[in-house]
Structures are given as C-alpha cells and as structure tokens.
Structure 1
Amino acid sequence: MAQPDFPPVGVIIPNFNGVHLLRRNLPSVIRAAAAYPGTCSIIVVDDGSVDGSAEMLRTEFPSVRVVVHEANRGFAEAIHSGVDAADAEFLIFLNSDVRPQEDFMAPLIRHLEKPEVFSVSPLVLDEDGRVSPVSWRCFRIKRGRLRSVRWRFDDLKSAAPTESLFASGGSVALRKSMFVALGGYLPLYKPFYSEDFDLGLRAWKRGWRTLLEPASRVVHEKKGSISENVAADRVRKTRVCNRFLLEWTHMPGKDLMLYLLPGYLFQLIGRLLRLDLVYVRGFFAALRRLPEALRVRAEIRKHQVLDFWRIVDAVERSFGLKA
C-alpha cells in the first residue's frame, strides 16, 4: 500500500526504435515503481518507431501507459508529450537504455520536496559498475573552450548529496511545475544533445538547484537509441553545433570575447588542417543559428538571479573542490 507521505511520481521514458532496450530495461523500472513507497505511473512515449515498440508494450507491459507520435519528433518533443500526459508533480525521465536499481526513486524524490530544488541526478554507473562522469557535472574554461571538470567518485568527501551544474536528461528527477515554467527543453537544441545542460543552467540562473544523490543508482548502457538509429557524422556534427550554441547562450560576454572566441579560431584552424570537416560543419551550423541563440540569451537574462561563475563556484564548493 502506498504511504501518504511519499508523493505520486511519474516516470517518463522516450523511445525510438528501442524495442530491445525496452524489453531489457523496462522490467527494472517496473520493479522500482513497485518498490517506491508512494504511487508511481510509467509512461513510454513512442516517438515514431517502426520496430513494433508500441505494439510490444501494449502486449507485454500492459501496466505501462503508451503515448504514440505517428512521426519522429526528437528527444525533447517526446519528453514534452510525456510531461503533458503525466498527472504527478514529481517526474523522473529515464532513457530506454537506463536500468535503475530497485530502490532508486525515494532518495531522489525526497530532495524534490524542498522548494528550491529543481532536479536531482542519481549516481550513473556503466555496465561494469564504474561511476560515469555524467553523474556530476561542472565546467571551467580550459584551452579556449568550456570543458568538463574531471573528478573521481573517491573525491567526494562523503556519500552525502552534492550540488551539480545539471543532471543528464537520460536519468533525472525533477519538478513538473518548474520544468514547465522554464519552457522545458528549448527548440534551439533540436534534435538532441546539450538540452539537459541548458535546462540545468536556466534553472540555476533562477536560483533553482540541481543535486547529485549517490544513494540512488542507475546503470546506463554504452550504446543507446541515438547511436543505433542516427549516422555517426550527424551525431557528432549535432553535438559540436549544440555545444557552441550553449556557450553563446550562457557564457558571460567577457569570457566569450577574451577566451572563447580566440579559442574557436585556433581550433577551427587545427581542425581544417586535420581535414575534420564534420567539426567545421558543426561550427557553421551553429553560426547560422546565432541570432536564435542571442534571442534565447536575452530572454534568460530577464529571469536571472545568479550569474554563471557564481553557480560554478557554488557547485565546486559543494563537491569539496573549493574551500
């Protein structure tokens, strides 16, 4: 029986041609939902699959609600359809290639009951049990680009929760009302990549925190639906393009002018000399969307209460990288 002090939770799983992933990982999600002390519903959004995913779900997992897109719309729109269909305020987004531990939900949801917390990440493990760097995220400017701060799980001073710059969109718990207030994932980053980074930064800039909760754990498979269904060059070009858009949207103007723009120049020259045309195409694809990124940047500033480096400093102090 559900315990009344644990709020209802909705789990949203986007799917595109991932019938084999759903068969493998959905049973673990169902067991976790049953183990959660409150009520929990599971919604799979089938994003235009042609592998029989929706039919398989209705036949083999009748307790799961299925929302169907007749044509593929991309990760963000699949999540948005799931959010629209969910009744719960507290939501968990899981990719179809993520397998949660049975007790992973309650530690995440407890944090969301604090009004200043926007999202919580579980500890993400790979298939060999190693802690993935996507569990905790922080970035600094190095060699002319915004680069991830390297860390080890042993660096954590304790198993206590710590602040993080953003939670991976593949395994995150968050509040529906805040997600909607932020406008969800932005069209700027379609079809995939960097939308979770952007979402976390927009939340932080409003003063809404993201946490890592090491007591909650999931396993993320090495190869997911994007890599299986999209050509490798397109995946890399999109990743490159969206990282530029993210920097132009969120980085302070002084850092863009003094550090990032010179870094772009040197990197482009180096990539051209190496004939890395995918990278170059990614840059120019981003450049074509610069006016859109600047409009988003201006809109974010209207609601901003914390600047980028103040957020980064807070995240590093929480982790224990700064005194």
Structure 2
Amino acid sequence: MPAGTGSRHHGIELRHHPRHPADGPAEDREGHRHRGRCLVGRIRGRHSRRDDRCRRDRRRGRSRDEGRPAGRHRRRGSRQDHRNASRRGGGRLIVVDGSPALSVIIVSFNTRDSTVECVRSVIDDAGVADVEIVVVDNGSTDGSVEALRTAFPQIVVDDTGENLGFARAVNRGVHQATGELVVLLNPDTVALPGSLRALVDFEAAHPEYGVYGGRTLTPAGALDPSSCWGEPTLWSMFCFATMLSTVFHGSKTFDPESLGRWQRDSVREVPIVTGCLLLIRRDSYESLGGLDERFFLYGEDAEFSIRARRQGLRPVIVPEAEIVHENGGSTSGSHRKMAMIMAGKTTMFRLIWPRGRARVAIGLLLVGVFVRAALETATRRPRRTWSVAWATRADWLPGYPHAESAIFGRPSIREEIAP
C-alpha cells in the first residue's frame, strides 16, 4: 500500500508510513547486571534528586541548563546532523527525517503514580526529544491525566473519557504516534537503563524477526517469566485440566506454555511476546491490522503474536531489554482479573482454531478450573480465586464481548465472535 494511505480494522483507521533503511550492524553488547529492588530504588532516588535540583533552580530564577556542564546539556544538533549519525553509534536514540525513531505507547487506567514513574524511566532511558511518548488513559478517576500533563507537558496524553479496553486503546495510541518503530509498554513497569536502546539496536541489526520482546523482573529482582509464553495447544490444555502443568511446573513436557526453565537470558525465538514490552515496526503492525479490538483485556497480545507468526514474523526475546514489572496495576481485584483472563483465553481459542478444536480446548479449560476450585474447597484455602472463577463461569465462558458486559455490568460495543 502506498505511503500515506490507510486501512481500517475493527473500526479504527490505521495509517501507513514508509519504512526507513537501517544503518549498520550492532553486536556484542555488554550484558546487564542483575537488577532488583535496589536498582529501582536508585532510579527513584535519582528522580527525586533531579526534581529537587529543578525546583531549586526555579527558585533561583535560572534555567535547567544554566551552570551545567556543556557536554551534558548542550544544544542538540540540526536535523541533518541526526540523519548523518548512526542509529546505533552510541548515545541516545535519534530523530529520523524529522520524526522520532520510536513511539512508546502506554495504556493507563487508575495507575497515576506507576504511570508517572514509567514515563520518567522512558525519558531517562532514551531522551524525550528522541522518543515520542503517547499515553492513552482509559477514563482514570485518580487524577492520572492531570498528573501526566503537569509532569510531562511534552508528551501526548489522550484522555478517552471511558475504559476502551487494552486493544482499542493501543490501536488508538498507534494511530496518533508518528515513529517508525512502536513499543507497547505497560504502565506498571520501569524501563531499566539501556532497555529501549537494546530493542532498537537489535531490530536494526536483525529486522528479519519483526516482533521483539524483553526480559521482565519482579520488584524484588527475580525473574518474571511473563514477557513471553509458548503457544497453547490441546496438549497444554490437557495438562492444565489434569493439573500436570501445576505438579510439574516448568516442565517442557507437562508445562509447555511456560517454555521450560529458561530464564529469558538469551536471544531466542518464542511463540508469544506479551504486551507488557513489545516492539514492532509501524508498517508491520498496520499490515497485521493491529490488536484485535474484540478483546477487552488479556489474550489480545497472545492472539496478535500467533497471527504475526502465521504471517511470517518471528517473535524473539532480547535479554538486554529489561523492565521491572509490578504486574496487574490496572486490574483491581483478583476475582475480576481471573474472569478476564479466562474470557481472554476462550476468545483467543475461538479466533485461532477451528470450531471443533476450540470447543475441546474450552472444555479442558473448564475442567481445569473445576479441579482447582475443588482443591481450594477441600483444603479450605482462604483465597478462593478458582472457586469464584468456577462460580462465575457463565460470565466468562462465552468470551468477549459477552464477558465484558457480564463482568462490568454494562453493554459492550464489541463485535460478537462465532461460538
């Protein structure tokens, strides 16, 4: 399709932009040290000290650049200087042909403090003049929009006024973005230094993969494996139904969706890169039609990766791209979250598989929920997440859009999916 033209997918117009040529290869990047809560603390401390310095400078009536070393805050070069610079030549991400090389899309919902910290980490990692940041706020009531616009007047903050769900909000953000590369980033994450750079460098050196993810850590510094998963199969669903995936957690045979005990510490192709950190070229995203807006929350990123692989892309993990992920910042209540996860799974099965296979998978999913609910009751566990999921199965079993209406008690405008 010619540059500047667009297409529509599930009610959203997607614009197509020309692809810019990559510059030379970049290899042998230095490995990251183990980071955890102490590193996040240092990041927060740096923000605090910087903010204190800025406030002190304002009281003294001088700008941020006055009295600073010229090497750190010198005036940026011309557009031609940027075009002549290597995209991977060290330093910061650059502007290409007057547009940012990278657009970071963040979808927030009542995560004010986490989103502010997430945006700060992106700015510190890449430089605000080099990266376009688009925050799509799904009708937050905690002052997120005001806080973001006050703290970062240079970024785009789109107040939707309602909860559109993740897929619609991401597509809306991509529609507004102008970068040739797009990164999806969760609001409850902190991008560790060099992470965005690592993704951009790897994509430029290895454009054949098409979809790129990273490595996620918990706030305590442990591995959070949720940056990528294996593709669901009838065998993996059988293992879920029979508890084999729980008894043999991390087994390549009986828990295949976990990808074994791999620590996400090496470059590796994976079936699914999740939306907490995902880089893709804009033209690839648009040619795939974006995220499927029939999803509300959970499952849309898995379906997107599966769809991308079927179109010839090869999702890959870049271990140098690390983020700290708090997990579930936009989702209130474990019971509601579990219902949405289950609805996402049943919706995905109906989209990626023929009707008969999808029905078998959903049946196995239902058996697995029942078995776990029965165990919760038998062992008298105080937390009854699976018991509630079983009791509310009529809400999530049909998938979206029915689940959205049932879980939130409101009508849905999403397109029905054939049972």
Normalised TM-score (structure 1): 0.77
The 8 Å contact of residues 126 and 197 in structure 2, kept in 1 or not, is answered as no
Could you tell me which residue of structure 2 aligns to residue 182 of structure 1? Answer: 288
Match of 2:123 among 11, 30, 53: 30
Partner Cα separation in structure 2 for residue 75 and residue 221 of structure 1: 17
CA distance change for structure 1 residues 52 and 212 in 2, over 3 Å: closer, same or farther? Answer: same
Could you tell me which residue of structure 2 aligns to residue 308 of structure 1? Answer: none
3-state SS of the aligned residue for 1:59? helix
3-state SS of the aligned residue for 2:290? coil
3-state SS of the aligned residue for 1:142? helix
Which range is displaced more, 20-29 or 87-96?
A: 20-29
Could you tell me which residue of structure 2 aligns to residue 317 of structure 1? Answer: none
Could you tell me which residue of structure 2 aligns to residue 315 of structure 1? Answer: none
Partner Cα separation in structure 1 for residue 138 and residue 362 of structure 2: 37
Which range is displaced more, 23-32 or 91-100?
A: 23-32
The within-5 A match list for 1:235-254 is 235-251=337-353
The amino acid that maps onto 2:336 is R
Residues 1:161 and 2:267 are matched in the alignment:
yes
Residues 1:211 and 2:304 are matched in the alignment:
no
Could you tell me which residue of structure 2 aligns to residue 41 of structure 1? Answer: 132
Count of aligned positions? 285
Partner Cα separation in structure 2 for residue 200 and residue 231 of structure 1: 27
Cα deviations across residues 129-156 of structure 1 (Å, max 9, x unaligned)? 11211133214523616762343345x7
Structure 1 residue 254: deviation in Å?
A: 7.6
Partner Cα separation in structure 1 for residue 121 and residue 363 of structure 2: 48
Q: Which has the higher contact order (CA 8 A, sep 6+)?
A: 1
3-state SS of the aligned residue for 1:235? helix
The 8 Å contact of residues 102 and 183 in structure 2, kept in 1 or not, is answered as yes
Which range is displaced more, 74-83 or 276-285?
A: 276-285
Could you tell me which residue of structure 1 aligns to residue 214 of structure 2? Answer: 122
Normalised TM-score (structure 2): 0.60
Bigger share in helix: 1
Could you tell me which residue of structure 2 aligns to residue 17 of structure 1? Answer: 110
Percent of pairs with identical residues: 24
Structure 1 residue 110: deviation in Å?
A: 3.1
Cα deviations across residues 167-207 of structure 1 (Å, max 9, x unaligned)? 111111111222222221212321x0011000000000111
CA distance change for structure 1 residues 74 and 262 in 2, over 3 Å: closer, same or farther? Answer: closer
CA distance change for structure 1 residues 266 and 69 in 2, over 3 Å: closer, same or farther? Answer: closer
Cα deviations across residues 18-45 of structure 1 (Å, max 9, x unaligned)? 111123332211101229xx93111111
Which is higher, the Rg of structure 1 or of structure 2? 2
Gaps of 5+ in 2: 1-76, 88-95, 241-254, 378-385, 403-414
Partner Cα separation in structure 2 for residue 57 and residue 284 of structure 1: 35
The 8 Å contact of residues 347 and 399 in structure 2, kept in 1 or not, is answered as no
Which range is displaced more, 2-11 or 271-280?
A: 271-280
Partner Cα separation in structure 2 for residue 72 and residue 269 of structure 1: 31
Gaps of 5+ in 1: 296-323
